[in-house]
Amino acid sequence: MPVDGSSPVLLDGDEWQSYFRDFKRSAFRLEAHQIYTMPGETATVRAFLAGDEEPDAFNSDWHKLISDHAAAGRTMTRAKLVRRPLTDYSRYLFEWCIPGNVAAGENYQIVDLTDKENPGLPEQDFWMFDETTVVHLNYRPDGTQVNRELIQEPDLGKYLAWRDLALENAVPFSGYRT
């Protein structure tokens, strides 16, 4: 799936996690899909759909990472594209995941495309770190992640424009009404 004609550089494990530990200024995620099928979330999504209460300390390690970055003056921003009616997975995010991320200091934005034409945003999920490093998150149509691909020599202007376009068309999670 390389976009630049080169061999893909796939990220996993500690190498992938290091991007979240080591960024210096900013991390931005465009979340384009409506369904994600992540093995590590299977039990909690199932519990959510069964009507269970959110577990104590849910996502606490991620929240600590966000709050540590925020305390150091580094930003974590996410723009989530949604279409109503929300999928079960999006409802899970909205009720169990996003509120804790926001409370920890993540700037979580919602781009609702339900009654609008897409303003030109890609269907490609990506993280951009420090406005210099881009990693595509590649998924199958069922939401299963295929891989995480470091983009070599990305067209940063394109990714920065997509970030800005997403944020221009977004509302803060706290102000979004489903």
User: Residue 77 in contact with residue 129, Cβ under 8 Å?
Assistant: no
How many angstroms separate the CA atoms of 110 and 164, rounded? 13
- Encode pLDDT of 32-85 as tens digits: 999 999 998 999 999 999 999 999 999 999 999 999 999 999 999 999 999 999
Q: Is the pLDDT of residue 7 over 90?
A: no
Using only the alpha carbons of the chain, give its radius of gyration.
16
- Encode pLDDT of 85-103 as tens digits: 999 999 999 999 999 999 9
What strands, in cross-sheet order, belong to the sheet with 171-172? 9-10, 145-150, 133-139, 125-129, 26-31, 75-82, 107-112, 171-172
Could you tell me the pTM of the whole model? 0.94
- Local structure of 33: helix, strand or coil: coil
